[in-house]
Amino acid sequence: MDPVLTSTLADMVRNAAPLLIASQGELITERAGVVNLSLDGTILLAAMAAFAVSYNTGHLGMGILAAMLIGMLVALIVIAASVFLKLNQIAVGFVLTLLCADLSTFFGRKYSGQQGQEIPYAPIPILKDIPVIGEVFFQHNILIYFSFLLVIVVWLWIYHTRFGLSLRSLGEHPAAAYVRGTRVQLWRFVYVALGGALVGLAGATYSLSVKLGWREGSTLGNGWIALAIVIFGGWRPFRIAFGAYFIVGLRALALYLQKEDVLNLPIQIINMTPWVLMLVTLIFVTSGLAESLLVIVPPRWRPAAQQLLRVKPPGALGSNFERG
């Protein structure tokens, strides 16, 4: 296989890692029925914190831990405000987005442009020698491996364990989950905290591996992309992963075309393409247009195709649960 293509694919896997982690985190949160809108700010703040802490302490682990704690804290604020004060999750999430972004700018200004540590390169011994696949997937660092392992773990968790079943049920119909003995609020807190920690980890992945170092607003926009990918992916882990690779692939393709002078487009226009494509895809899928085009599909495969195109949010998304 073409070595340029292989290395491009490997780059894609690397660049998609934070998006993948963040969107899986948000998936868990939203499956529990909570919207954490603060992703964009959280990722920024977590990226800054991961860099600053590892820079100051010299331990990468501490940096990652700090990032995860920050993600968790922000997510817990959203859920606590929603559960105890019945506040609108969107409003709180939005304010936190702005606040976290400002905090990252303010506290990160000393670290801007500094040389920091990087997660060590750690190819996996045997797997790395598989042609193509080895180079694409198994010659990275541990966070990148984690990102695609996470998709599988989340999928297994959601669809094949009892924990996952109750996660789905409490996002779908909390009253029914309560009747069946699920402690709705407790599990919401747990899953939201977990999702938040993953979002924080995504920030750490940026500043410690993918976009090494810290610069003001360096990850701006990626949180929103992650949020949109969750919708695009219809709240299902593998489709979300596909969405993340798709977006990153688009960017890579655009850059490649630019380099090869195939398409003479300025970089800003290329930066716009993922957003435009995302809008077009969202419109296509959510407006029911895609579904009405399903008549082309032979009837036998129609249910499967319908299932594939289905984008139905968890039934209780964004709402409060009150017992009794």
Partner 1 sequence: MTAFRKFLIQTSSRTALGFFPLLVGTLVALGVIVLILNHEHVEPRAVYDLIYERTLSLPENRANVVDFWLPILLCCCGLLLTFTAGLWNIGIEGQITMGAVGATSIALFVKLPHNQQILTELFMAGAAGGAWALFTGIMRTRGGVNEIFGGVAMNFLASNFSTYLLVGPWSPPNATGSATVRFPDYSLLPSMDKYRLSPITIYITLTAFIFVLLTLSGSRWGLQLRAMGKNQKSAQMLGVPTERNIWLAMLMCGIMAGLAGGHLVLFRRSNLPANVSGGIGFLSLLVVLLASVRVRWVPIVSFAFALLYSAGLPLRTRLQLDSSLVGIFLGILVFCVLIFDGVRQRLQERIEQRKLLAASGGEKSPPPPTIEIQIGEEVSSGSSSN
Partner 2 sequence: MRLEIREISKNFGPLKANDHISFTFEGGHIYAILGENGAGKSTLMKILSGYQAASSGQIVIDGKPVQINSPHHAIAHGIGMLYQDPLDFAPLTVLENYIEGKPFSFFMHRRDAEADLMARCKVLGFSLNPNAMVESLTVGERQQLEIVRLLSLGVGILILDEPTTGISAEQKSQLFQTLKNLAQEQNMTVILVSHKLADVEELCDEVLVLRRGKLVGHRLLPCETEIMVQMMFGKRLSQTSSQPLYTEKPVLKIHKLTVPARLFTIQNINLQVREGEVIGLAGLDGSGQVQFMRAIAGLGRPTWADQLTAIFALVGLWWVFGKVLDESSAVLNLAHIAILILVLGPLLKSLYPFIRQRSKQAEATEIILHGQSIGWRGYRDLLGRGVAYLAAGRLEEGLVAGLTLVDHAALANRSSLPYVNWLQAWRRTKGAITNFAIKGRPFSQIQTLSGGNQQRVSLSLLPDNLSLILLENPTRGLDVESAGHIWSLLLKRREQGTAIIFSSPDLDEVIDYSDRILVFSSGQTTLVENPEQMTTARLGELIGGKS
Residues in the chain: 324
The listed partner (partner 2, partner 1, none) that binds 162, CB under 5 to 8 Å by sort, is partner 2
For 1, 97, 253, 274, 283, the CA distances from 8, given in Å and listed in that order, are 12, 32, 9, 18, 30
The listed partner (partner 2, partner 1, none) that binds 115, CB under 5 to 8 Å by sort, is none
The listed partner (partner 1, partner 2, none) that binds 169, CB under 5 to 8 Å by sort, is partner 2
Binding string to partner 1 for residues 282 to 301, with x set by CB under 8 A, is what? xx--xxx-------------
Residue 218 is classified by DSSP as T
The listed partner (partner 1, partner 2, none) that binds 160, CB under 5 to 8 Å by sort, is partner 2
Residues 254, 273: contact at Cβ < 8 Å? Answer: yes
Give the nearer residue to partner 2 in terms of CB position, either 114 or 287. Answer: 287
Q: Is 4 in the site for partner 1 (CB under 8 A)?
A: no
Residues 153, 160: contact at Cβ < 8 Å? Answer: no
Give the nearer residue to partner 2 in terms of CB position, either 59 or 312. Answer: 312
Minimum CB separation of residue 274 from partner 2 in Å reads: 12
Closest CA to 67 of 85, 84, 48, 80: 48
Distance of alpha carbon 166 from alpha carbon 172, whole angstroms: 10
Q: At what angle do helices 162-172 and 3-31 cross, to 10 degrees?
A: 60
Note the residues at the interface with partner 1 (CB under 8 A). Answer: 35, 37, 81, 84-88, 90-92, 94-96, 98-99, 101-103, 105-106, 109, 221, 224, 227-228, 231, 266, 268-269, 271-272, 275-276, 278-279, 282-283, 286-288, 311-313, 317-319
